[in-house]
Structure 1
């Protein structure tokens, strides 16, 4: 079987396996391994950025919100463009490879920073790479899988991504144990797994046979999509206004005067929950439907985001982090599965681009607002705001009907 084929197209001794039982396509597995290695590199840097900003360049909470708001907004805006362009091109692979290459180059540059804007520039370049690759990559996953496999495919991919986010902090912890004052060298070492990712994709990833370049003129409008998809995007945007960067959870841990050495450990533990949860929840998405899983996840988010405002001990923080990881497990494969279910397959790339754009338009104001609320009014107001936005988004998502995939999609 070639990499461009899906296993549910393969012959079987007693006939083809049903999609829900068939093995995941090789392209899905390859992209999963790429995400694992890339996130290993990324998470050697990401959870330590608040420490680096404060100790090396003297930045505070508002700068942290600005850093993540700009970086993630730029990334998500690019996902709209790259997703739409990949629908018009027979080669989605080029966007994926270039995106990972840019991230590999930009992360080590943070080591050279001497001012906050240096970190913002390098982090933004890293996220530009993510913006270029993400929508085409997700479209390749959707192209490669049957509708009954989508939850499992996206769950596997997110599980591998989060497993990398466990290995990254573990590597950072081991390095800092030996060299606690050498954050710049740690950032430089991220080039190693990044280079492996680029080589793996250049020589292993294949275009999916299911993807054919569209013949329509290039357009980024929402006109081709129906009301259900638009309401779903509105609910996501509303939720994101209160769902700010996870770096604020690191800030909350620092408020409890935990040692910096424990930050990578807690960060890695959070991603253990995310990885195991995503691996388990993918099949549940295929069974119960993505909408029900998203609603459940947003309720869990509201509960545990509120809890973060009131934790006072390490034990309470760990409980809140576990609950927060469950939210990710419930929603991550479900959100992307719902995107693929609601749109025609020839517009999958653009749909994933709009999915990320909906998140982008509220990421920057959400992070800045959260940072201001946290710094001037305290954790209770800031985390309470996130819980309220989650409840409002859940109420809007209830209005989306018919979320199972259409025949032929």
Structure 2
């Protein structure tokens, strides 16, 4: 037992609490995410509008990530932002069940994404504060594994509901409030670990990304490459819509999404360990190469078995990039600026997602899904080549 405690000593109380909170919130969100595009199509929404809706929601999250991340740094406080952000996301879930109009759906999604923006920079800074250079990948990888465990359980709940109640999507929005509320309860157990205030003034909401101008050159180079990729990385909703277009049933689409998340959850933590040993750059480049294989493959295949294989590989891509990317970026800035640095990365990535999702929806309707996914695959390979060779110096 003592050996295990020493072996996993980096899993502190704060890391466990933040991971459990993310598990509950993601369970609530992922009950809805795989059925959302199917639900929107069932009430008459076009592919373009679905992409625009997802893009606008992510853009709201993006602006608020940068703003609240630097505000958290200025105050030297994290916990209030985390608690309020998870609270907003929990409240947004039942709102989706009230009306099925475009404006109301957009409002509910915006509240959810505002909550995500409010909490993300502060939460990631809390995680970074619990790490050392030797275990940063492990901590972020463990958190992503727990987060994605919720993304496995959520779709399974949705699958069980739809098996007994075919086509009845809206009650799921009410049930999703339960795990979200439980996550807020766990968030109340967090203790503030007072950080050194950055001393910088709070900038206006629209100026939340001023950190970019003062960031180290290595940060700008790496984040610049990640943002270039984000401009072509549209919402996963398009993958689900493509599977449906290939003839997969609604429960089958959710099953593919579950497979993706299972692969993600079992590989995120081991790949975090691998990132600590081999360096995050190699894992990130390999992950982008996997993305290119998946997007290039789904543009060509129609066999459900191959689609399942590609969805599994997509889970490996996510595990090799999301937590690992944050772990790498957190080493490229001063410790007092971690909230702003990660908030800026997440924020600008979300704004890029607006372009990516709206553009993918439009391109899908004009030229079909083949060109949409093929273009994203080519962009991923180009960015992988760039990140494999870019010169990065750590800040002093």
User: TM-score, structure 2 length as denominator?
Assistant: 0.94
What is the 5 A alignment of 1:101-140? 101-140=87-126
C-alpha distance in 2, partners of 1:259/1:292? 37
Shift of 1:60: 1.2
Partner of 1:300: 290
Partner of 1:171: 157
RMSD over equivalenced CA pairs, Å: 1.8
Shift of 1:309: 0.3
Pairing 1:52–2:52 present: no
Pairing 1:89–2:75 present: yes
**Bigger CA drift: 368-377 or 137-146?**
368-377
C-alpha distance in 2, partners of 1:297/1:183? 33
Deviation beyond 4 Å, 4+ runs, structure 1: none
C-alpha distance in 2, partners of 1:261/1:217? 50
Shift of 1:115: 1.7
CA contact under 8 A between 1:53 and 1:116: conserved in structure 2?
A: no
C-alpha distance in 1, partners of 2:347/2:86? 20
Cα distance, 1:340–1:42 mapped onto 2, change above 3 Å: same
Match of 1:325 among 297, 310, 315: 315
Partner of 2:18: 31
Shift of 1:263: 2.2
What is the 5 A alignment of 1:3-402? 22-56=9-43, 58-202=44-188, 204-209=189-194, 211-219=195-203, 220=208, 221=210, 222-402=212-392
CA contact under 8 A between 1:236 and 1:358: conserved in structure 2?
A: no
Shift of 1:338: 0.9
C-alpha distance in 2, partners of 1:406/1:281? 25
Helix, strand or coil at the partner of 1:311: coil
Helix, strand or coil at the partner of 1:359: helix
**Bigger CA drift: 341-350 or 88-97?**
88-97
C-alpha distance in 1, partners of 2:333/2:323? 16
C-alpha distance in 2, partners of 1:133/1:294? 24
Shift of 1:369: 1.2
Unmatched 5+ stretches in structure 2: none
Partner of 1:7: none
User: TM-score, structure 1 length as denominator?
Assistant: 0.91
Helix, strand or coil at the partner of 1:223: helix
Shift of 1:318: 0.3
Shift of 1:406: 5.8
Helix, strand or coil at the partner of 1:293: helix
Helix, strand or coil at the partner of 1:74: helix
